Amino acid sequence: MNEKLFKNCPGEKFGRTTCDSCPRLKYCFKKKTKRKIKRNMRKVICFLIVAFIVCFAIIMTIGQKDKEKLQKQQEGPTFEPAVEQEAMFVKAKELPTYTQTTSKRVIKVTPAPTKKKARKKKASKAIPTPKATQNPEITSVPTIEATLIVVTEEEKVLMVKVVYAEARGECFEGQVAVAAVIINRYIYNNGNISIKEIITAPYQFADISNITDEMLEEYPDCEKAVEEALKGNDPTKAKFANGARYFYQPELIENPYQLKIREGIENVKIGNHYFHNDFNE
């Protein structure tokens, strides 16, 4: 029973106070129901609009981050020479070098001879060997022109892992060339960047975080290749006087930008890898 009239009831003009026995009762119920549905629809539409705006903002934020990440990947190599390469080699007459018998390995790397014409020099007196220091483990070794490379045991293991990740299926010469690339970068940067920093720099070499000792034992040639490179052997020096600092395999490159910056550059192929120094930028 309806004690009150519906809003805007036309029977109110004729003195009707309730909806009982009103012939328009069904019509009024339908009208009221439609108004309620319209109000609810407005609320649902407003909620959907707000949800769409929030989702759109989240998608745009994620897309911007992915775009920035892609731009960083397309920047290419980040290694730059700290000084000119000629400044890396120190003459023994100016500064004698020393070999320290600790857990670190010291490798002497002699650069390729320059193309300058040789000048006649007068015979000079022999340079006396510096006196031994109080520490018996340090001895003085005079060198003509050399750059010292200090490699720790940890860094040697990292080099073996890089060879495993990048060239375990390559010929032995190709594995030595990959190890030599790391050493050439160290020399090119005048020792300002350590071997470990070169290997762990982003976007430079394959990921080696999951490589275990058991995996390395299955490919003993990887460690032998590193040993050869530390002895100064570098197959890329047949093409480049001071060796190559970069390498790539075209079939494995997915980013077109990385192929574009290597178009027309001077390189040498060893196994399935191409070794080079310059980029097309």
Q: Tell me the CB-side half-sphere exposure of residue 158, using CA atoms within 13 A.
A: 18
The angle subtended at Cα 187 by Cα 246 and Cα 172, nearest 5°, is 50
SS3 of residue 113 by DSSP: coil
Residue 100, pLDDT above cutoff 90: no
Q: Which of 277, 90, 103, 94 is nearest to 191 (CA)?
A: 90
- At 33, the pLDDT band (50, 70, 90 cuts) reads confident
Query: For a pLDDT cut of 70, what percent of the chain falls above it?
Result: 65
Q: Is the pTM for the entire model greater than 0.75?
A: no
Beta bridge partners of 246: 276
- Provide the edge-to-edge strand list for the sheet that holds 267-270: 246-248, 273-276, 267-270
Q: Which two tokens stand for residue 39?
A: 């109000």
- Asked whether the beta carbons of 258 and 248 are under 8 A apart, the reply is yes
Q: Which of 281, 276, 235 is nearest to 260 (CA)?
A: 281
Question: Distance (Å, rounded) from C-alpha 197 to C-alpha 88?
Answer: 19
- Asked whether the beta carbons of 24 and 11 are under 8 A apart, the reply is yes
Least confident interval from 68-77, 105-114, 124-133: 124-133
For tokens 């200090």, what's the residue? 150
Q: Which letter does DSSP use for residue 186 in this model?
A: H
